Structure 1
């Protein structure tokens, strides 16, 4: 009996993390003598979640590692590329029987990664130059926490709270303190503000002294106590009031800010967390210094990526073919600036952009016969790429 129902790296690489019908499809093709059928299978999104104008292509690194060593060639957009509906994202070329069982795996990687990265990018776009921290590890199965942390970070979040997820990216986890700390001090010491003093004494010096200021008293009152207890060492206050007790969050923040300024502490930062999405962040971005966002990024609307065969090699020549409702043929996606994308059949001349320049091809070869042939960028490089594109994006 398994203790944890999770796939191991070996399960993923061996193709065991698949749907049974792909195994039966391979068996059927072999029985019919069609196991040499060579195809091009395209990954794309027919429609984005309601209200979305773009999404972030993410998960390419892990998709490539899942396919590494298999006799296939892979073309794809660079990880972190913003894309729209009906635009090609990735193509696998090879004998269908050699990668059929990996459709489930690759789709799961790309779809889950892209969904989280897209929501993170939307939140970061709403936050503007204010910090956005991902606090979503606690709402996810531990097996996928590091993946979600990476997706949120490359999507634009400035930091993640998950220890393992941060470590795997070579980062330091970020975070403040839980309400549990104040509750224990209140129950056993009679004063929850003692928790802040002891946190200050115990935390490493590089950790910002951010007090969770809403456990027992009004947010304004706790912010005042935080200044009195920690003095100049106080970096910020976090307001994590649940929606059932919150009221008008903007008014609460304004009240806290006004009071801190009266105390001569305009330097104290205000961090808001708890039930935030891009709409809530946009409403507060002008008066809040940082946001902790968890559930809305960890459980975002799904970016519905699908895979379809778009070409089959017949008699040595590539023949465009696919199911109805899809566009047959191998395609290139061109960038004309400002998130303007143009789709053209592969091999055709680049389109002319509105400014008279030629479109820049985005899809390139990342794997040839199972060998990765293109360098895989770091998380920081991908994140910077996403942030550059967000400058031209609209929510």
Structure 2
């Protein structure tokens, strides 16, 4: 596409691309935007270096004029979008990229790959946090996904409300709190379980969390309390009927005087398993595989479509795909969340070309992210966490149900009176 438009002179036509989802993947009632900060970093660093250009030339992928254009590539346009931690619905204009056709179209894959992945993880994580209630969740999925995706997943999970991650690179890169426990291999390394527990307590103190289901759980609990006393920080259960086991372990700990010792459960948890554990005396959850794979929904289904471009005379005209089952709406979008006076979300209202009419209760959703190629939006993960908490609080109570259903609120296209 780039080579062809450079050749026929349309590459420089002013264009507007929008990134959105036609529907919510997996029958979810809402989606969570994540990856915006990573996407903006990627746009700022998007370059074609000598190695890439040499390969393109030697592999005869594109012609010399296109290679010359790529060598000088710098995004100089404007980007608006929903910030990290905002919720979205079908047709929400999650990101709007504006500039020349050439400089915008070249960003399609990098923007979609980041936002499709990170938003899927954040959406799954938000459902898990809802199911967990006041109990903290720890992200522990690094061994179940690509090494780079693991760091991104930890970031998304933290935005969604997870308390910590076991991924130390995510802690180093993003400042996310880190934590973890020992594995069964640590216990199996030692001649006895007592030797393993004693070594861990000696190294990390009695406040550590001991894995107690390698052999016999009641015996492990007795050994743990014997060694650490009532200062034992926690025990982890990683197998079996977790509801029943948690009750038995809680009773045994209390009987032994370790009433402050916390119980953390792991073992292929998803939001439904976490919800089932609400009746158990559990203090926290470690979540791995289901989290980093989007709990069965590994992509958000975002697409990146041209919705407006300049004609031969320089006037902007709306354009849209008209395929039977993939219809899109042309024109640059503006979005607000329609709220009641009490602050309850009623609809996602999208204006085409101009902002929709709204009152003081309604909340504009798009923020400026990049202006003339320069990033103008920077915020902390704490800001994103707070935004998601507030955005979810606006939604109807039905949005927090875990069963498949229609989106929690409708999306409405509204024509603004002239």
Residue 346 of structure 1, CA deviation: 4.0
Residue 294 of structure 1, CA deviation: 0.4
Distance in 2 (alpha carbons) for counterparts of 1:208 and 1:253: 19
Partner of 1:345: 352
Residue 351 of structure 1, CA deviation: 2.9
Residue 266 of structure 1, CA deviation: 2.5
Given candidates 213, 216, 221, the residue that maps to 1:223 is: 221
Higher mean displacement: 135-144 or 80-89: 135-144
Partner of 2:48: none
Residue 318 of structure 1, CA deviation: 2.1
Answer whether contact 2:165 2:178 (CA < 8 A) is retained. Answer: yes
Answer whether contact 2:336 2:356 (CA < 8 A) is retained. Answer: no
1:236 paired to 2:237? no
Partner of 1:290: 284
Answer whether contact 1:130 1:285 (CA < 8 A) is retained. Answer: no
Counting only pairs closer than 5 Å after superposition, residues 178-217 of structure 1 correspond to structure 2 as 178-185=183-190, 189=191, 191-203=192-204, 208-217=207-216
1:283-335 superposed Cα distances (whole Å, 9 cap, x missing partner): 11342100000000111112111111111122333211110211111111212
Secondary structure of the residue that 1:377 maps to in structure 2? coil
Partner of 1:255: 248
1:322 paired to 2:320? yes
Distance in 2 (alpha carbons) for counterparts of 1:309 and 1:226: 62
Distance in 2 (alpha carbons) for counterparts of 1:251 and 1:152: 28
Give the TM-score, by structure 1 length: 0.85
Give the TM-score, by structure 2 length: 0.81
Answer whether contact 2:17 2:304 (CA < 8 A) is retained. Answer: yes
1:130-189 superposed Cα distances (whole Å, 9 cap, x missing partner): 01000001112223322221111112111000111111122442001111110011xxx3
Partner of 1:266: 259
Higher mean displacement: 248-257 or 131-140: 248-257
1:316-361 superposed Cα distances (whole Å, 9 cap, x missing partner): 3321111021111111121224344222224244335xxxx44221
What stretches of structure 2 of length at least 5 have no aligned partner? 45-73, 402-418
Distance in 2 (alpha carbons) for counterparts of 1:273 and 1:164: 21
Distance in 1 (alpha carbons) for counterparts of 2:83 and 2:357: 18
Distance in 2 (alpha carbons) for counterparts of 1:60 and 1:117: 12
What stretches of structure 1 of length at least 5 have no aligned partner? 1-24
Partner of 1:310: 307
Answer whether contact 1:350 1:361 (CA < 8 A) is retained. Answer: no
Answer whether contact 1:334 1:350 (CA < 8 A) is retained. Answer: no
1:389 paired to 2:391? yes
Answer whether contact 2:155 2:176 (CA < 8 A) is retained. Answer: no
Counting only pairs closer than 5 Å after superposition, residues 71-86 of structure 1 correspond to structure 2 as 71-86=76-91
Q: Structure 1's 368 and 239: CA in aligned 2 closer, same or farther, altered over 3 A?
A: same
Distance in 2 (alpha carbons) for counterparts of 1:305 and 1:182: 45
1:166 paired to 2:166? no
Partner of 1:117: 122
Secondary structure of the residue that 2:94 maps to in structure 1? strand
RMSD: 1.7
Counting only pairs closer than 5 Å after superposition, residues 356-395 of structure 1 correspond to structure 2 as 357-374=360-377, 376-391=378-393, 392=395, 393-395=399-401
Q: Which runs of 4+ in 1 moved over 6 A?
A: none
Distance in 1 (alpha carbons) for counterparts of 2:282 and 2:379: 32
Residue 249 of structure 1, CA deviation: 2.2
Partner of 1:26: 2
Task: Give aligned pairs, total.
Answer: 354
Answer whether contact 2:79 2:97 (CA < 8 A) is retained. Answer: yes
1:269-291 superposed Cα distances (whole Å, 9 cap, x missing partner): 11000110000001113421000
